[in-house]
């Protein structure tokens, strides 16, 4: 009789331990699923931010390229206007080197300003 009682007691303790361990396992699995879901959400958010950052950088780069093209066009137009004016006023037109150097310096400074604006926009986010 004592052996049966001890056996039933051991079975009850073992089943209680088993149910308790099963409960702990379910809690741990639930926590792991929550962590997995939050990691997936963080990855999706990071991908969205990376895509938005890349789109922003491309937009700023296009803006800088347009700025530099505008500076180049302004230089070309300025040189053409000076050239036309020289052809009208002088029979043997030759543009002075000082004017050419000045125009090139203006273009370089305009392109440098485009680059500074580009870098500032990248740092500040427009």
CB contact at 8 A, 87 and 93:
yes
Closest CA to 78 of 108, 102, 114: 102
CB contact at 8 A, 90 and 25:
no
Q: What is the pLDDT of residue 41?
A: 95
Closest CA to 64 of 103, 110, 102: 110
pLDDT in tens, 56-101: 889 988 988 999 899 889 888 888 888 887 776 666 667 778 888 8
Q: What is the pLDDT of residue 47?
A: 96
Give mean pLDDT, residues 9-37: 91
Q: What is the pLDDT of residue 92?
A: 64
With 90 as the cut, is the pLDDT of residue 43 above it? yes
State the pLDDT confidence band at 46, using cuts at 50, 70 and 90: very high
Q: Can you give the pTM of this predicted structure? A: 0.59
Q: What is the pLDDT of residue 100?
A: 82
Query: What rounded mean pLDDT belongs to the chain?
Result: 87
Q: What is the pLDDT of residue 93?
A: 66
């Amino acid at each position: 009789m004592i052996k049966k009682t001890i056996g039933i007691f051991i079975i009850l303790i073992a089943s209680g331990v088993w149910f308790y361990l099963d409960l702990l396992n379910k809690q741990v699995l639930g926590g792991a699923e929550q962590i997995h879901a939050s990691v997936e959400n963080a990855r999706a958010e990071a991908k969205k931010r990376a895509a938005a950052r890349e789109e922003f950088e491309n937009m700023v780069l296009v803006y800088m390229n347009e700025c530099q093209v505008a500076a180049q066009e302004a230089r070309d137009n300025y040189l053409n206007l000076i050239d036309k004016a020289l052809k009208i006023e002088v029979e043997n037109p030759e543009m002075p080197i000082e004017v050419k150097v000045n125009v090139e310096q203006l273009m370089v400074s305009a392109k440098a300003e485009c680059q500074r604006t580009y870098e500032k926009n990248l740092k500040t986010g427009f």
